[in-house]
């Protein structure tokens, strides 16, 4: 907001100045929230003497990310209930301490600190945006505690104190590109929200395109939450690419797909491959605007496996038949089970024991068997391309030959050599 204006009435000028003061206030408190983190706790206060053990569930229950993260909270609660019903971990019942990250990375850091120091939780499950993960990372490292992060992300990270149960780029974006190449796509148009994940994803896509002879006809970013797409969609239409690669996040997808359908573009003449649209988001966009478009994930509600049937049934029984399950929810659900299995294997709740025992721990999850890689703390995942159908669900049209080993730094790809060094 322009604060330099001098409206006629003095009151107004003061009011505008107050806006600046308010913004300043928010900024100051935000910076202040990290104070006190410097004194790292050497001793963990996790209490395992009783017959319960606490874990943290840290998700945005308010703010712009609440739309997605509340579903993850539900999935975590479901998994904890299942583990408890099966006798708990090491004979102890799990007790959830829930906190609201409020869609603010600094709040995530603050609440993580609180969960570790005051509630003495054995592990924390949650986080969604890369910004929230990056803000929490030093907290978990300084306090030597554990975070299970359940969302696909841009890779190029591997902390001893974080287990990444969502896909890294070689389990989602690269398979999606492989699929497009397989179907004869020779040119792409990239559309994304303006923050770390889409920027990094598009850097990878550009490197991939160069190595595979794909022409990138355009690359556009909009601010998070923007709903103004007429120019971009007209440019996409004019560019006439074979496909669009969409890394938009959140509400922007609604405006983008409505505009896309309105100018007459369809999945037949220019398919859109999205990496942030799951079952939960399709409802808000309106299935008539997105039917036939593609998405890249590791899990869909429609995956045909006994483990998934049980997961979907249990979820609907708990939260209502109209609810859907999605990839990040499934990854969060897996996180709890993986943590419980690791603790059982280690025979201890201590962080160093869990870290040491993690390698090779597996869980027969709804998406298939997932196995923890002890070196980079990611898990093996099966890549799946899904097509959005008229019922609002996604159906697998292609899947990788078995689970893909996680490679967060893309060390196995020659063309990505320059990417790993740049953040």
Partner 1 sequence: MDLLVGQLFTGLSTGSILLLAALGLSLTFGQMGVVNMAHGEFIMAGCYTAYVVQQAVGDAGASLLIALPAGFLVGGAMGLVLETLLIRRLYHRPLDTLLVTFGVGLILQQAARDVFGAPAVNVSVPEALRGGVDLLGVTVPRTRLFIMALAVVAVTAVALVLRFTPAGRRIRAVVGNRDLAETAGISSRSVDAATFFIGSGLAGVAGVALTLIGSTSPTTGQSYLVDAFLVVVAGGLGRIKGAVVAAVALGALQAVFETYSTASLAKVGVFIVIVVFLQLRPQGLFTLRTRSLA
Question: Which residues of the chain form contacts with partner 1 (CB under 8 A)?
Answer: 1-2, 4-12, 14-16, 18-19, 21-22, 61-64, 66-68, 70-71, 194, 219-223, 225-228, 230-232, 234-235, 237-238, 251, 253-255, 258-259, 261-264, 280-281, 283-288
β-sheet bridge partners, residue 164? 149, 378
Task: Return the exposure string of 55-69: e unless at least 16 CB atoms fall within 10 Å of the residue's CB, then b.
Answer: bbbbbbbeebbbebb
Residues 190 and 162: beta-carbon distance below 8 Å: no
- Of 259, 254, 280, nearest to 193 by C-alpha is 254
- 318: tokens are 């708990």
Task: Tally the C-alpha atoms within 13 A of residue 360's C-alpha that lie toward its C-beta.
Answer: 4
β-sheet bridge partners, residue 319? none
Nearest approach, Cβ of residue 73 and partner 1 (Å): 10
Is the CB of 62 or the CB of 183 nearer to partner 1?
62
Nearest approach, Cβ of residue 7 and partner 1 (Å): 5
- Of 412, 413, 404, 409, nearest to 422 by C-alpha is 409
Nearest approach, Cβ of residue 100 and partner 1 (Å): 11
Is the CB of 239 or the CB of 356 nearer to partner 1?
239
Is the CB of 128 or the CB of 164 nearer to partner 1?
128
Phi, psi (rounded to 5 degrees) for 247: -115, 25
Nearest approach, Cβ of residue 117 and partner 1 (Å): 28
Nearest approach, Cβ of residue 6 and partner 1 (Å): 4
Is the CB of 101 or the CB of 368 nearer to partner 1?
101
Residues 179 and 394: beta-carbon distance below 8 Å: no
| DSSP structure class, residue 39 | S
Q: Which helix (H) or strand (E) holds 342?
A: helix 327-346
Is the CB of 15 or the CB of 45 nearer to partner 1?
15
Task: Tally the C-alpha atoms within 13 A of residue 46's C-alpha that lie toward its C-beta.
Answer: 23
Nearest approach, Cβ of residue 16 and partner 1 (Å): 8
- 165: tokens are 């149960």
Q: Which helix (H) or strand (E) holds 185?
A: none
- 255: tokens are 């405006």
Nearest approach, Cβ of residue 290 and partner 1 (Å): 10
Nearest approach, Cβ of residue 181 and partner 1 (Å): 26
- 120: tokens are 């003495």
Phi, psi (rounded to 5 degrees) for 162: -125, 135
């Amino acid at each position: 907001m322009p604060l330099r204006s001098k409206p006629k009435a003095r009151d107004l000028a003061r009011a505008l100045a107050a806006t600046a003061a308010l913004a300043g206030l928010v900024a100051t408190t935000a910076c202040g929230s990290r104070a006190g983190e410097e004194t790292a706790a050497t001793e963990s206060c996790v209490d395992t003497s009783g017959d319960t053990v606490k874990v943290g569930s840290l998700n945005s229950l308010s703010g712009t990310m609440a739309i997605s993260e509340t579903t993850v909270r539900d999935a975590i609660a479901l998994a904890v209930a299942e583990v408890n019903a099966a006798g708990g971990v090491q004979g102890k019942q799990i007790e959830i301490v829930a906190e609201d990250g409020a869609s603010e990375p600094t709040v995530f850091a603050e609440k993580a600190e609180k969960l570790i120091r005051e509630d003495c939780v054995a592990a924390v499950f949650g986080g969604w945006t890369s910004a929230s993960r990056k803000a929490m990372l030093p907290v978990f490292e300084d306090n030597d505690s554990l975070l299970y992060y359940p969302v696909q992300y841009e890779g190029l990270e591997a902390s001893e104190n974080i287990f990444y149960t969502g896909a890294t780029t070689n389990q989602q974006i690269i398979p999606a590109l492989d699929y497009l190449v397989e179907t004869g796509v020779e040119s792409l148009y990239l559309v994304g929200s303006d923050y770390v994940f889409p920027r990094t994803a598009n850097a990878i896509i550009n490197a991939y395109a160069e190595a595979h002879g794909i022409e990138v006809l355009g690359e556009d970013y909009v601010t998070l939450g923007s709903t103004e797409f007429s120019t971009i969609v007209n440019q996409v239409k004019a560019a006439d690419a074979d496909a669009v690669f969409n890394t938009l996040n959140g509400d922007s997808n609604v405006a983008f797909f409505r505009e896309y359908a309105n100018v007459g573009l369809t999945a037949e003449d220019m398919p859109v491959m999205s990496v942030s649209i799951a079952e939960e988001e399709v409802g808000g966009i309106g299935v008539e605007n997105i039917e036939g478009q593609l998405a890249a994930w590791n899990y869909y509600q429609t995956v045909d496996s006994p483990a998934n049937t049980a997961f979907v049934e249990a979820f609907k029984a708990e939260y209502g038949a109209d609810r859907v399950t999605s990839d990040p929810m499934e990854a969060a659900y897996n996180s709890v089970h993986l943590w419980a299995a690791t603790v059982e294997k280690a025979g201890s709740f201590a962080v160093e024991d869990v870290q040491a025992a993690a390698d090779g721990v597996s869980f027969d999850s709804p998406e298939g068997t997932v196995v923890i890689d002890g070196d980079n703390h990611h898990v093996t995942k099966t890549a799946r391309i899904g097509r959005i159908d008229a019922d609002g669900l996604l159906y697998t049209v292609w899947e990788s030959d078995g689970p893909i080993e996680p490679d967060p730094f893309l060390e196995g790809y020659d063309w990505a050599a320059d990417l790993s060094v740049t953040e």
